[in-house]
Structure 1
C-alpha cells in the first residue's frame, strides 16, 4: 500500500481515532513556548495534518490564533465537530494553503512523516514569518517496557510492519530524518503516561494505519489474540501507556 493510501486510511476511522488516541502533556506546549521564546497566546499558528484536532484543541486552549490544516474528509469533519471555533482548511504540508510569512508557528503532531520533506520544508519556510518556528512531535511508547516490546513484535508479525513505537533516533539523526537539519533545531524528550481501559488501548492501537490498511477481518484476528496477552499483563483491565513525546523545534532564520 502506498504512503498516500496509508495516510488517507485514517478517514475510515476518524471517530475511533478521536475517541482513543492519546493527547499530549502540558509540558509539551510549555517546551514549545520556552524554545521559541514567546507565548502561544496570541501567536498565529497553523496545525498541519491536524487530524481530528487533538493538538489543535490544546493550542486553542493556550490562546493561540490557530487554524487546522487537514487533507482528509472525515478527519476534517471530526475536527470541525470537536472544536467548532477553530477554522479548518483543507490541504496538506506539501502545498500549504496559507499566505507567505503569515504564521509565527507551524505545528505537526504525529503527521510530519506523511509529508515529502523536499516540498514540506520549503513550504514551511515560505509560510513562517522571519524568526518563526516549525514544531514537530510524536508520541512514542516507552520502548523499555517489556510488554510494549512484546506487543510490537506481535504487531510486526501480524501486520508485516511495526507501529512507530520503537527506538528513537539520536539527536543528529532526528533532525536529519525530519528534513530540518539546516534549521536551528532544538530537541526535547518528554515522558508522560495515561491509564486507560483495555478496550481503549486496543482501539488506540488499531487506529494506526498498519491496521486500517489490513482490513477488518485481519484486525479482528489480532484483537482476539491480543486481548488474551494483555489480560495476563493487566488483570484489572486497566493499561498504563507510557509515552515519550519526541519534540523537534526548528527556527526560521
Structure 2
C-alpha cells in the first residue's frame, strides 16, 4: 500500500492500549472474546453515552484518502450502533455496515433503517472482491486479527481504495482526565497511559506490509455527569466484571468528578487517532 502525503504530526506513536475501549486485551484470550460479546447486552447504553467524532476527522479522512466521501462506496466494519456510520452517511457516502453482534446490529437497524447492515467480522468480510472505495473501522480494529483482517481489507478494496482506522483516545495531558485514568488503572490493574504511547501504525498492520499514515485530532464535548459515567460503564472491561464492583467504582467516581464539575456537566477531551493507508491505483 502507498499513502497520500500528510501534514507532519507531532504526537509520539501509541496504540495497543490498556484503555478499556481500545487495543488492550490479548486477541486470542477467551476474556478478549467475552469482552467483544459484552456490548450486545448494553447496546442502548453504548449508543446513548459513547462520544461521536468531530467533523475534522471526516475532513482529514478525505484529505488522506484523496477523495470526497460523497458518492464513495464505504464499508464500516464493527459498526456497532452506527455512531460512525451515521456520520459517513450524512457526508453522502454510499455506506454498508458490517457488525457481528446481534444486539448492536438490532440497535443499528432501528437507528439507521435506511443503511444496509450485514452480520460479519473484519477477519472474514461478507463483501465481494474489489467492492469498496473505503473500509473503515471506528473503535473496532482491535477486535480483529490483523493477520486475517489486513488480507481481507486488501481483497475487498478497489485499486486506489483506502483502509481507515480510528479511535477516540483520552487527552491525558488534561489534569482531571489523567487523575481519572489513574483511578481506572488502579481499579483494573491496567496501564492506561499505554494508549497514548502505543497507537501507531503497527496496530493497523503489525506485519509492516502497509504504509500507514497517522493523524491526531483533538476535540471535546460537554455532557451531563450521568452520561459521562454511563460512557465509562459501557467499556467492555466494566461490562464483564461483577456488577457490584462496577457500581461501587462508578459511585466513587461520581464523588471525585463532582469536586471538579460541581454543576454536573463534564467537559470530556479526546484525541482521535486516525490511521489511513491507500492501495495502489
Structure 2 residue 173 is matched with structure 1 residue 144: yes
Question: How far off its partner does 1:133 sit?
Answer: 0.2
| CA displacement 1:163-217 (0-9 Å, x = unmatched) | 6884243xxx711122164223221100100011100000001100110011321
1:227-242 map, 5 Å: 227-242=254-269
Residue of structure 2 equivalent to 1:67: 96
Residue of structure 1 equivalent to 2:211: 184
| CA displacement 1:15-60 (0-9 Å, x = unmatched) | 0000010000001111111111111111000000000000000000
3-state SS of 2:184 partner: helix
* Aligned equivalent of 2:114, options 73, 77, 85: 85
Give the alignment's TM-score, normalised by structure 1: 0.95
Residue of structure 2 equivalent to 1:224: 251
Residues 94 and 120, structure 1, Cα contact 8 Å, conserved in 2 = yes
Gaps of 5+ in 1: none
1:47-196 map, 5 Å: 47-161=76-190, 166-169=195-198, 174-179=200-205, 181-196=208-223
Give the alignment's TM-score, normalised by structure 2: 0.86
3-state SS of 1:167 partner: helix
Distance 2:84 2:215 in 1: 17
3-state SS of 1:188 partner: strand
| CA displacement 1:130-183 (0-9 Å, x = unmatched) | 1100000000010111211211121122233366884243xxx71112216422
Distance 2:53 2:117 in 1: 20
Q: Go from structure 1 to structure 2 and tell me whether the alpha carbon gap of 1:28 and 1:99 turns closer, same or farther (over 3 Å shift).
A: same
Q: Go from structure 1 to structure 2 and tell me whether the alpha carbon gap of 1:63 and 1:164 turns closer, same or farther (over 3 Å shift).
A: farther
Residues 72 and 94, structure 2, Cα contact 8 Å, conserved in 1 = yes
Structure 2 residue 47 is matched with structure 1 residue 21: no
| CA displacement 1:81-129 (0-9 Å, x = unmatched) | 1111000100010000000000000000000011000000000000000
Residue of structure 1 equivalent to 2:273: 246
Distance 2:108 2:242 in 1: 24
Distance 1:48 1:129 in 2: 16
Distance 2:190 2:105 in 1: 27
Distance 2:203 2:88 in 1: 25
Distance 1:33 1:164 in 2: 29
The number of equivalent residue pairs is 250
Distance 2:131 2:192 in 1: 35
Distance 1:226 1:111 in 2: 26
For the aligned residues, what is the CA RMSD? 1.5
